[in-house]
Amino acid sequence: MDLTMAEQELIRQGAEARVYKTVTNGRVVVAKQRFSKSYRHPDLDAKLTRGRLNQEARSLKRCKEHGICVPDVIRVDKNSATLFIEFISGPTLKEWILANDSEDQEKKLMATVGRILYNMHSFDIIHGDLTTSNMILDNSNQLVLIDFGLSQISTSIEDKAVDLYVLERAFISTHPNSERLFATVLEAYADSEASHLILRRLEDVRQRGRKRDMSG
């Protein structure tokens, strides 16, 4: 499928891929097309692109297997380095937070985020780019995680703590005075002994982050 055709709607242009809304077999889908990097050796570039493409598809399928709401993988086109996934309609969590004026609803949704992230980490899935723009409230009001382009499978406590830290930084930069929001996420996340180890490591990651900020 030629994703440069006029009927493809460009949704996002990122550093690694172009994301289109399109139609295949009568179904509205998202086509995420990874592009080559001219500064890399062609063989290495092809290997890295193929690896990231396959890893994203694997992570989405693993989430599905464990009941974590993510888009369906429709197909992987290795020739064009394109991942076709289900199109999810609805506001992003970022949009929802900016429009919401109910603290009760806000607290319930943040708790949902925390439980979903703990569930994801308990199956060793690292998202890699957690932000409030990478979560969507679908038509049935379920929270769906999207954009697993930097994901990996890892048992590392450090990797899971860094995943949480990335989300915390996203809250700080996108939603001023949002400390209570992320605190509620962590309260829901901290529901087992395993999570406590991750949250202790999160504090170490924060300390390193603060030192980097201070050193410029």
User: Cβ atoms within 10 A of the Cβ of 84, count?
Assistant: 24
Q: What is the Cα–Cα distance from 159 to 74, expressed in whole angstroms?
A: 28
Cα torsion for 102, 108, 109, 113, to the nearest 10°? 150
H helices of 27-156, in order, are: 42-65, 93-99, 103-122
The DSSP output letter for 16 is S
Residue 88 corresponds to which tokens in the numbers above? 């999810």
CA dihedral (16, 11, 84, 76) in degrees, to 10, reads: -20
Active site (catalytic) residues: 129
Q: How far apart are alpha carbons 184 and 107 in whole angstroms?
A: 7
Scored b (16 or more CB within 10 A) or e, 2-36 reads ebeeeebeeeeeeeebbbbebeeeeeebbbbbbee
Q: What is the DSSP letter of 134?
A: G
